[in-house]
Amino acid sequence: MATALYELCWHVIQGNLKVDVAVSLLADVMELRDDMPSILADVFCILDIETGCLEEKHKRDHFTQLVGACLICVPDGMLKERLDPETLESLGLIKQAQQFNQKIVKIKTKLFYKQQKFNLLREENEGYAKLIAELGQDLIGNLTSHLVLENIKSLIGCFNLDPNRVLDIILEVYECRSEHDEFFIPLIKSYMCEHQTLCHMLGFKFKFHQEPNGETPSSLYHIAAALLQHNLIALEDLYVHLLPLDSSIVEEHKREILEAKQIARKLTMVLVPSEKTEDKEKEKEKEEEKNEKPPDNQKLGLLEALLRIGDWQHAQSIMDQMPAFYATSHKAIAIALCQLLHLIVEPLYRRYGFQTHALSWAWNSALRPAESFDDLSRGVFTMLCYLGPHLSHDPILFAKVVRLGKSFMKEDSLLSCFLSTADQVLLPSLSLMECNACMSEELWGFFKLFPYQHRYRLYGQWKNETYGNHPLLVKIKAQTVDRAKYIMKRLTKENVKPSGRQIGKLSHSNPTILFDYILSQIQWYDNLISPVVDSLKYLTSLNYDVLAYCIIEALANPEKEKMKHDDTTISSWLQSLASLCGAVFRKYPIELAGLLQYVTNQLKAGKSFDLLILKEVVQKMAGIEITDEMTVEQLEAMTGGEQLKAEGGYFGQIRNTKKSSQRLKDALLDHELALPLCLLMAQQRNGVVFSEGGEKHLKLVGKLYDQCHDTLVQFGGFLASNLSTEDYIKRVPSVDVLCNQFHTPHDAAFFLSRPMYAHQILSKYDELKKAEKGSRQQQKVHKYIAACEQIMAPVHEAVVSLHLPRVWDDLRPQFYATFWSLTMYDLAVPHNAYDREVNKLKIQIKAIDENTEMPLNKKKKEKERCTALQDKLQEEEKKQLEHVQRVLHRLKLEKDNWLLAKSTKNETITKFLQLCIFPRCVFSAIDAVYCARFVELVHQQKTPNFCTLLCYDRVFSDIIYTVASCTENESRRYGRFLCCMLETVTRWHSDRAIYEKECGNYPGFLTIFRASGFDGGNKADQLDYENFRHVVHKWHYKLTKASVHCLETGEYTHIRNILIVLTKILPWYPKVLNLGQALECRVHKICQEEKEKRPDLYALAMGYSGQLKGRKVHMVPENEFHHKEQPVRSATSGTLQNGPGNTGKPAAAATAGKAEEGAVEDSDKSKDKSQVAQKTASKNSTAANKVSSSNGSSTPNSTKGSKEKEDKEKTTKEKKEKKDKNPGSTPEAKAGGKDKQKEEKPTDSKEKTPKADKDKRKDDKKEEKSKIDGKSAEKEWSKERDVSNDSKTKEGSKVEKNAGAGSMKSLVPRSEGVESEREQKRRKLDTHSSPSHSSAVKHHPNHSTVLPKSKEKDDEKKESDKSRDRSKEREKKEDRKDRKRDYSNSDREMSQEAKRRKDENGMSDVMRNHFLHTFTNALVFQESRHDKEKSEKKRDSTGAKEEKKQYPLMP
């Protein structure tokens, strides 16, 4: 608007617009707004100045005309104020400009510079004196501010007093009598008229005290605060008068933080002594500077006064202008705010029944006291947040806030308020308190109401963020770390008590910082664990909870690797923390939920490292150890009841674990972690191998697998022994649910379900007993069986879904469930273990009686304890004995329905081993013993369709793949299983009477099947004692063969596992001297090769070698281990097979050994073909059935076949020896023929290795070819067999299936010709090049056509003559070559060794052929003469080359 008016007027001055037109326009504009005259006057003022400077007079005239015309629009007075006097004179508004100027000067002088002439000497002094007397009189009576105000007015009027000075005197008197707020505030409010005047007066008073050494009195702060509270002055007006400036306060705060950080840095630095002294001097100087009088901070003084009178609104405004917690860092302000909070919370605190102390303040605050929790949340929490860590100045208020928090925690909506208060106020305040244990316990009473997730979050904020936000806390943190270092340097086992007190004192205020440092030291030095755990007994409950959080945080540290640099072992820091967890959580009442949830979350993420923590916690808290290094006595004790386990089953004495195990159980049940942990561990076993172990070292993967498995066994054992029947049944689902829904492996599922079934059976049994009291023992057994049937019937139905339907053709679900549901506790009573522990207690009682130093009361207690324990053990033994009798009676009734054997017995044994024995024997050490004892029990029960001989043969004859696929701990369990099996076999082997008693008339030792339709198969013969000894020798040989193969592979896992297995079975194997020597030689070589490469293998080998040497005195020669007869012919001079025992045996010595060996080697070749390292026996049922159906008696034909076989073996053996030119290749040869090796030329030794490698490659090619031939032959035979099935009876068809189901690969092409039964048997004898190779050469029955007997005799005679002639020709040729070389000294030794080997395997060979004769009575081969001769030649060549593979005892 002003611009438009200016433009309009300027056009008039320029002459572009007439004055009349402009005036009319201006007149119209004046009506628009009230202030238009003033705006137009301003425009005229500007134009007056501008036109006065112009030289064109006409423009000045135009301006004068315009102003004169506008006098009707603008008042004269307004123009006189703004226009120049000369302009006013030209307009006629004033007479003379000079006089007008003089008048202006006089008025200004009078207004601004002339002082009134008061009389200050007489009249005014009296007035001020009366005023002071009036204000200073006694205010107690009826005197009011209104009466005093009237008197003051009279004094002002009478003595002509200055009102402002009167107001100043009133403020001075108020300052001196500041306690009379109720009088002076109304007086000032009635007296004054403007707020600015009062504010300026107060500001002048504050400025008066802002001198360098000035100090503002507290009374002035008080009256300023009172006037602010009653809104007589504004804070914004007064704040500008106060010092220091806000910018100075911010800089001071930053400087304090920087200094605190520097102090903290110096405390953590390592300084030399000279630097320390310099720093101390500088610190002293700084302290002296600080001790000087600090500058007066008027803002803080006013803030304190506001807080003291309860004016929180203005106080909050001042605190908002400053950095966080800067104001409350001053003790006076913090205390004032605490006092204000006291007054607010006091009514509410009393209402909830808390006692309180008398307050020293009177309530004069405008704030309303808190009467409900809503009132508390509106104001108190805000004040506390401003107070922050400085609540530490008032522990009483701290306790009040905590107790109120406990009272109102039921309000869910207030949880966030309490969490923020705890985070920002309570925990930081605790850090600044001087080791107040009571406040720590008080705070724990509040915190324990929170879930552990909220608590741990608070601890994390406290530890990682709070200490960096406050200068004081930065210093406190540095001082705590420094003190912790001092204590930890001096902590030993001897000074645990004083050091523990110091740790406790330090932990009351700053537990997070202290524990963080202690844990870092433990991770480096694990020998600190024991003294640290003992020194923690002086902590508070809150400190224990913080310790649990700090441990979890240290475990979850992402910056630390949980593997060592070699990637084969778990880091030592993790092992140290795990050990600390077990010890701390056992000894002190620390909540376990957080730690257990952490382990669960790690398992969910597929990480199994932290299972080490759970393993340690369960071991220490529940006293349950998991170790595969148990002694025999411990293992025996573990088969008893819980009391026997605790006394004799563990390495450490298990004492006082009842409370700790109860805490662990409660934590698992309250947070529903028991079943999830079990399932996750069971699933994680395979996850370790297939998911987690992808890039990890095989050794580490094995350790993690063992750790996962051991923890599962340990944890499951804890649940089974500590959970009640109801809790266990409620949480653990059935087996089919575990396997099908949760994908739990079968062994783990039965392990978890087994205690549940045992609990249910006992509960049902108790119910049935109570129903009929006083029943007899027999009735009790029947009731137990009834209880088992009721409980296990659903289980029998459930297990059907776990496997394919064809599995149940041989095994009944009842048998399968029975095997998996029983334990060693059910099968036998460890009487020796019970007697051993009872005797120990008796000795203890005797020692107590003889101890004269022990007080009588202590003697009495100890004796009572030992006696009570003794009674418990005896009662437990009696209880177990009754239980075992019931179980055995139940099994005796069930056994007839266990095995159906719809297929072959070989298939039955295979499924039994696959699905029962092998999975469970590596599950735990107790299960390994259980599996061996269960096999023995099934044998003793005379279970139908169970071939004990075949079962043992499959276990001993094929251990290479099982051993290779085991982890380290599984190897120990598998070795223990083999040890128990060998123990049983050795017991039978040791005495004929024992064998006849335990095996003589048992169906498990039948050598042929009862089958109608066979000429010689109508009688089921038992394996006699001497033949059994041959079989046992063969098993020992097979174990030696497998062991040497594993040791020769060079693979870490193979070597380690077989050494572990050999160590475990050392009490029962080797028993034969030459086998022991072979092992000793190979192990000695391992010691030499692995000494520098793999120290752990070297240690294992050295340990086994030493123990093996110690067992030599118990070894016997082979002829003492099993009966050997003198061979008919001695072996050719200078020949030596690559295996022990190679000479022939007469017909009278025909045994079942060869049949057993053939079964083993059939299994070996089947596994080589599939290349699958499974822990199950071979599925070649025919070979296994030959074992179970072999006949121990000899026949006339067996003698003749033995002689012909001997001739054939000698020629083949000699040809092999000449080709290899390496007569001392076996360990036995090395042991016996050292003189011969010394005579060999250097060139021979150089060429030895390449030639052997070449021969080995040739053997591999031959073997591959034979496998291909075998596959085609097997297919062809199976087709032909189907055609002939129609013409056989049902029984004959079943036997033929047994014979053909597992037939092995043949090394010769098969002809379709027909030959007689005897011709077939003789051809078998002729074509076996050596006993070791006999099992590899088998003919498959193609047709069932029977030839006339005359034809059979002719063919048999011709074949025998031709075979004998061919053998003699080859023998002559080889003899002529051998005579050219002289091995006179070594030949004698080698000949004896060869004879022994021949004796060992020859009888087995004869027996095998006899078995073939009996078994294939109705099955006749038809083969042409030409094809037969070609097949014999091929077998002669391939058999000789593959002997090295059959006896891999070469070093």
- Provide CB contacts within 8 A for 685, sequence distance 6+: 705, 708, 709, 712, 745, 748
State yes or no: pLDDT of 1246 exceeds 60. Answer: no
Q: Which token pair is 206? A: 């504050």
Give the pLDDT confidence score for residue 417 in this predicted structure.
Answer: 81
The 3 state secondary structure assigned to 599-648 is HHHHHHCCCCCCHHHHHHHHHHHHCCCCCCCCCHHHHHHCCCCHHHHHHH
**Model confidence band, residue 1303 (pLDDT cutoffs 50, 70, 90):** very low
Give the pLDDT confidence score for residue 458 in this predicted structure.
Answer: 93
What gap in Å lies between CA 480 and CA 513, rounded to an integer? Answer: 7
Give the pLDDT confidence score for residue 1375 in this predicted structure.
Answer: 56
Least confident of 543-547, 557-561, 620-624, 1349-1353: 1349-1353
**Model confidence band, residue 117 (pLDDT cutoffs 50, 70, 90):** low
The DSSP line for 411-470 is -GGGHHHHHHHIIIIIHHHHHHSSS-HHHHHHHHHHHTTS-HHHHHHHHHHHHHTGGGT-
| Sign of the CA dihedral running 704, 710, 713, 714 | negative
Q: How far apart are the first and last CA of the chain?
A: 118
- Provide CB contacts within 8 A for 950, sequence distance 6+: 905, 906, 909, 1159, 1184, 1185, 1187, 1188
What gap in Å lies between CA 1281 and CA 1297, rounded to an integer? Answer: 9
Share of the chain above pLDDT 90, in %: 18
Report the amino acid identity of residue 1117.
P
* Section 1393-1399 average pLDDT: 43
Rounded to 10 degrees, the C-alpha dihedral 932/938/944/946 comes to 0
What gap in Å lies between CA 23 and CA 659, rounded to an integer? Answer: 108
What gap in Å lies between CA 1257 and CA 792, rounded to an integer? Answer: 56
Give the pLDDT confidence score for residue 1170 in this predicted structure.
Answer: 37
Give which of 208, 197, 190, 187 is closest to 165, Cα–Cα. 197
- Give the CA count within 13 Å in the CB-facing half-sphere of 1163: 34
Give the pLDDT confidence score for residue 1013 in this predicted structure.
Answer: 37
**Model confidence band, residue 365 (pLDDT cutoffs 50, 70, 90):** low
**Model confidence band, residue 931 (pLDDT cutoffs 50, 70, 90):** very high
State yes or no: pLDDT of 432 exceeds 60. Answer: yes
The DSSP line for 1098-1109 is HHHHHHHHHHHH
* Section 493-500 average pLDDT: 90
- Provide CB contacts within 8 A for 1372, sequence distance 6+: none
CB atoms within 10 A of CB 11: 14
Residue found by looking up tokens 């009466």 in the block? 147
Give the pLDDT confidence score for residue 1371 in this predicted structure.
Answer: 59
Give the pLDDT confidence score for residue 96 in this predicted structure.
Answer: 85
* Section 1267-1271 average pLDDT: 42
Residue 392 belongs to what H/E stretch?
Answer: none
State yes or no: pLDDT of 1182 exceeds 50. Answer: no
What gap in Å lies between CA 24 and CA 37, rounded to an integer? Answer: 14
Least confident of 283-287, 436-440, 638-642, 1249-1253: 1249-1253
**Model confidence band, residue 321 (pLDDT cutoffs 50, 70, 90):** very high
Least confident of 447-456, 618-627, 1132-1141: 1132-1141
Per-range mean pLDDT, top range of 55-59, 261-265, 1355-1359: 55-59
| Sign of the CA dihedral running 326, 329, 333, 337 | positive
Per-range mean pLDDT, top range of 505-514, 839-848, 900-909: 505-514
Per-range mean pLDDT, top range of 1000-1004, 1005-1009, 1117-1121: 1117-1121
Which backbone phi and psi does 1420 adopt, to 5 degrees? Answer: -120, 135
CB atoms within 10 A of CB 262: 12
Share of the chain above pLDDT 70, in %: 70
Are 1371 and 1207 spatial neighbours (Cβ–Cβ below 8 Å)? Answer: yes
Q: Which of 533 and 863 is assigned the larger pLDDT?
A: 533
Give the pLDDT confidence score for residue 515 in this predicted structure.
Answer: 93
Least confident of 817-821, 1017-1021, 1071-1075: 1017-1021
DSSP state of 913: I
Sequence-separated contacts (24+) of 194-197 with Cβ below 8 Å: 195/232, 195/233, 195/234, 195/237, 196/237, 197/164, 197/167
* Section 739-749 average pLDDT: 87
Report CA 438 to chain centroid distance, whole Å: 36
What gap in Å lies between CA 1132 and CA 1153, rounded to an integer? Answer: 24
Give the pLDDT confidence score for residue 1432 in this predicted structure.
Answer: 46
Which backbone phi and psi does 1116 adopt, to 5 degrees? Answer: -125, 155
- Provide CB contacts within 8 A for 13, sequence distance 6+: 47, 51, 59, 62, 63, 66
CB atoms within 10 A of CB 1144: 28
Environment class of 1040 (CB within 10 Å of its CB; exposed 0-12, middle 13-18, buried 19+) = buried
Q: Which of 1351 and 1178 is assigned the larger pLDDT?
A: 1351
Q: Which of 1089 and 293 is assigned the larger pLDDT?
A: 1089
Q: Which token pair is 1049? A: 């592979």
Q: State the chain's maximal CA–CA distance in angstroms.
A: 179
Least confident of 440-449, 1097-1106, 1373-1382: 1373-1382
Q: Mean pLDDT across the chain, nearest whole number?
A: 74
Give the pLDDT confidence score for residue 100 in this predicted structure.
Answer: 86
State yes or no: pLDDT of 421 exceeds 80. Answer: yes
Which backbone phi and psi does 899 adopt, to 5 degrees? Answer: -115, 125
Give the pLDDT confidence score for residue 934 in this predicted structure.
Answer: 92
What gap in Å lies between CA 799 and CA 812, rounded to an integer? Answer: 10
Are 610 and 706 spatial neighbours (Cβ–Cβ below 8 Å)? Answer: no
Are 1327 and 1335 spatial neighbours (Cβ–Cβ below 8 Å)? Answer: no
Q: Which of 1189 and 1392 is assigned the larger pLDDT?
A: 1392
Output the CA angle 302-307-310, nearest 5 degrees: 125
Least confident of 345-349, 367-371, 415-419, 597-601: 367-371
State yes or no: pLDDT of 1382 exceeds 90. Answer: no
ω before 244 within 30° of 0 (cis)?
yes
**Model confidence band, residue 1325 (pLDDT cutoffs 50, 70, 90):** very low
Which string of b and e fits 112-123 if b means at least 16 CB within 10 Å? eeeeeeeeeeee
Q: Which of 1188 and 254 is assigned the larger pLDDT?
A: 254
State yes or no: pLDDT of 1346 exceeds 50. Answer: no
Report the amino acid identity of residue 49.
I
What gap in Å lies between CA 444 and CA 1234, rounded to an integer? Answer: 80
Are 172 and 223 spatial neighbours (Cβ–Cβ below 8 Å)? Answer: no
* Section 836-864 average pLDDT: 84
State yes or no: pLDDT of 974 exceeds 90. Answer: yes
What gap in Å lies between CA 342 and CA 363, rounded to an integer? Answer: 11
Q: What is the pLDDT of residues 514-537, one digit of tens each?
A: 999 999 999 888 888 999 999 999
**Model confidence band, residue 223 (pLDDT cutoffs 50, 70, 90):** very high
Report the amino acid identity of residue 550.
C
Residue found by looking up tokens 């109401």 in the block? 449
What gap in Å lies between CA 713 and CA 973, rounded to an integer? Answer: 13
Output the CA angle 527-532-533, nearest 5 degrees: 110
Q: Which token pair is 671? A: 């947070």
The SS3 call for residue 1022 is: strand
Question: pTM for the complete prediction?
Answer: 0.66
Q: What is the pLDDT of residues 891-914, one digit of tens each?
A: 888 888 888 767 777 888 888 898
673 to 137, 598, 677, 742, 1045: CA distances (angstroms): 80, 11, 6, 15, 46
DSSP state of 110: I
* Section 588-601 average pLDDT: 91
